[in-house]
Each structure stands twice: as structure tokens, then as C-alpha cells.
Amino acid sequence: MSFIKIQKNKAEKPKKKGIRRIWKILLLFLLVAGVVGISFTSYVLSSGSKVFETGLSGGAELIKTIYGEKQKLKGEESDRVNVLLMGMGGAKHPGGLLTDSIMLLSIKPSQNKMALISVPRDLLVKIPDEGDAKINSGLASGYNRYLSKNCSKKSTDSCRDEALIAGAKKEVSLVSTVLDTPIDYYVLVEFTSFEKIIDQLGGIDVYVDKTLYDPYYPDKKMEGYEPFQIKEGQRHLDGATALKYARSRETTSDFDRAARQQKILQAVKDKALQAGVLANPKKVLDLVGTLGSSIRTNFTPAELPAFGEMIKPISRDNIYSKVFSTASGGELENYNNGLYYLRPKNGDYERIHAVVDNIFNDQYLFREEAKIEIQNAAKVNKTSINTLSKRLRDVYGYEITKVVTSKTSSDKTTIYDYTGGAKKNSIGFLAKLLDAEIVEKTKEKGITTDFTIVLGSDYITLK
């Protein structure tokens, strides 16, 4: 029996040592994990305090995300996440607090769609307590007002961050009012940051539609010129070249420039996703940490990765672009009251609001121009006819060539298509809007319209 007992004790001792060894290893692992966690937390908090409006609380939220808490973005519940992107020159540029670039980035998560809507910097707005101004002055207005009210001369430098945030919020408010849409997030970037972001991504790939030559591009000291040229074709751009391509306007219009900015932003999105930046909290902080005070946002560090995951599945085919302009069929007109401005045609913002509201539903409307004749074949009252004509002209941008009474009556509303199907998007939309039949007709001599709408007795007045 004693022999058996001795053997039993010898068998147990190694097992206890093994258990103790496992606990030592586990404790050591937890200790190392704790040190790493504290270090990373410190890194997160310090990064958040530099760039994010939420500062330290933003960093704390990121820690929660790392440990599995799912972050939801504002606007997701209504299926519309809106972000205002603003670019400015910064302290070293003349007019450095003017937003040289204003673009609404809007996402419809349920359909994996994204829209880029450029707002021209010369658009006329009314700034409360200041009067008429260009929309690009909202940031400067909010910044200067904050400084004058909240900062003494000695504390001006320490108030710069708060003043920038105040200015950004004022710009967001102005754009939100003009577009008649809520804007929950903003990103404010100085041009130096723009260069750094692209360089840190390893450059971007952009197709240049036509050769661009600008002999008046300002040099780095803003004292003379540094001629810039980029040739048509597929190009790989570093940060400096991309910035010049985005900002050049001396030999092209501001509207062309806005379109180029949208193209560059799409390229940045593609490269950032390809490199796995936006969906990786560490890479996000590595990127923004190098930018310092030249970028500001009210995204939290936890929300940026969530935003990256949201835009990741959006293909180029599902990215819609819109530049408000004075082109034929455009929404704006030139205006001068001693200073040059842009303003909505007839002072009516209804069409601009319709573009923003319908950008995901009726995107094709804003790519085709069409001339329309309206014929009243059912004794529709004049008020109803005027409502239809105004809606098609002012909201949807079609040209109404004439409104006449038909010589014959009709029970069914019909649209005659004289384009041979060349403007199928518009004809499809009109047919749906009016619950009308489509009849294709040959465009005979003397017909100057693309479509003729014949209103039948089944026509229901638009509201």
C-alpha cells in the first residue's frame, strides 16, 4: 500500500507545478496586456485631444470600440449620414480662414450609395447680425466672433482651437440652411494636411479629362507665380500635385475646379480603403496624429472607423456627383450688388433643396437637359397647369417651351418622346411622375421640343 501511495504523490507533484506555471504565464500576459493597453489608451487620448472636437472623451469612446462596442453614426436611423468637408488655406495663406472648398458628402447606408455635392464659395447667404456675405466666409465669421467675445489678447493663441470649432459650426449651419438638410459631422482641413494625407497614402491615381495649364498658380511664398501643367490621361499624383490640380482656377471655372475636387476625393477614398486605413483605429490615429492642428473634426476617434466601414462597400458606380453651377439648366445665376455673388435662379432655393433630397432617388434628373411642351387636353385648370410648369422648370430644371390648349380631348395623360429614346432617364421619370403612357414619335421639321406632355382627364394635380 505504501508503495502505491508513494507513486501517487510523485504523480501529483508535476501536475501542481504545471498549474502554477500556467498561472504565472497568465498573470504575466495580463500584466503585459495591461501595460500595452495603458500605453495605447494614452496614445489614443493624446491623439484625440489634438484633432477631435470631442478631445479626450473621443479617445475614451475608441477604447470602448476596440473592446467590442459597436459605434453607430448620427443619421443612420434616418438612412442619411451627412458630412461637410471644408478646405482652407490656414494662417500662412491670404484669406486663410475662408473655406476655399465646401462639399457635402452624403451617404445612404441602406443602398450603399454616396453623393458628393459641391457648394460654390461665392454663393450669397445672409449671416446673422452681419448681412449679405459669401458662404465661404462663415468659418472666418464664427472664428473672429468667438475670439472677440471669449478671448483676451493674452489668451488668443490658447483660444484658437475653440475659435476654429466655433467657426466650423457656423459654416456647417450656413450650408445646412442653404441645402435644407441636417449636417451632423464636419471635417475641416488645411491645405498642408491635404498634401500630407495623400503622401501618407502613397499618392492617388486620377484620370485627367483634359490638359490643364495654369500660368498663375501661386508659389509657396505667395509672392509670385509657379506655373502648373498636368496633361490629359491617367496620372499618379503626389500630395503637392493633387493640391494644385484641385485648387487651380485661373484658366478654368470654379465649377470645373469643384468637379476636380470631387474626383480627387473619390481617389483618396479608394486608396484609403485599399490600404485599410479608415477601418483600422490605429491607422486612423497614425494618420491624424501627424496632421496636428491643421485638421479638425467633430467625428470621435471611435466614429471614424465606423465611417470607414460604412463607405467601404460603396462602388464608384454608386457615387453620385453634383456641382451647383450657372450652366444651361443649372441652379444658379450671377448676381452683382457691388460685389460678385452667385445666387439661386429667381432667388428660389426649391430646386437646390430638391437636388439634395432626391440625389439618391432621381440622380439621372441632373444629368439630362430636356425641352418640354405641355398640352392641356382635359380642361385642366390654369392653376394646376402653372404648378406643373413651375415644378418641371424650377425644381427639375427642364425648359418649358410653351403651354397650349390641345385641339382634341384625351382621357389618358401621354408623353410623346421625340428623342428616339436618347433621354430615357428623363422620360422614365416624367412617366412615373405623371402616371403617363410613353409614345415614341419621329421628330418632324418644326418640332423643337424633346417631349410633349398631353394632359388627359386622369391627370392629378401635383402638390
CA atoms of 162 and 165, how far apart (whole Å): 5
Question: How do residues 393-444 score in pLDDT, each as one tens digit?
Answer: 877 878 899 999 998 999 999 999 998 888 888 888 899 889 999 999 988 8
Q: How far is CA 162 from the centre of its chain?
A: 24
pLDDT at 6: 42
Give yes or no for a contact between 203 and 238, defined as CB atoms under 8 angstroms apart: yes
The partner residues of 351 in beta bridges, in order of sequence, read none
What is the structure's pLDDT at 214? 87
Question: Nine-digit cell at 437?
Answer: 403612357
Q: What is the pTM of this model?
A: 0.71
* C-alpha grid cell, residue 181: 438638410
CA distances from 311 to 6, 192, 306 (A): 68, 25, 9
What is the distance between the alpha carbons of residues 239 and 195, in angstroms, rounded to a whole number? 4
Residues 269 and 279: their CA atoms lie apart, in Å, by 12
Q: How far is CA 226 from CA 89, 215, 220, 222, in A?
A: 17, 7, 8, 10
Our CA dihedral for 109, 323, 276, 192, rounded to 10 degrees, sits at -140
Q: How does pLDDT run across 296-327, given as a tens digit for each residue?
A: 888 887 787 788 888 888 888 888 888 888 87
The pLDDT assigned to 37 comes to 41
Specify the length of the chain in residues: 463
Where do the domains of the chain lie, and which CATH numbers do they carry? 81-361 (3.40.630.190), 368-455 (3.30.70.2390)
* Residue type for position 245: Y
Report DSSP state, residue 169: H
**Selection from 60, 62, 79 nearest residue 71 by Cα:** 62
Q: In what order do the strands lie in the sheet with 319-323?
A: 295-297, 185-190, 81-88, 99-108, 113-118, 319-323
Query: Which residue stretches of the chain have pLDDT < 50?
Result: 1-12, 29-43, 45, 47-48, 56, 58
The confidence score (pLDDT) of residue 54 equals 64
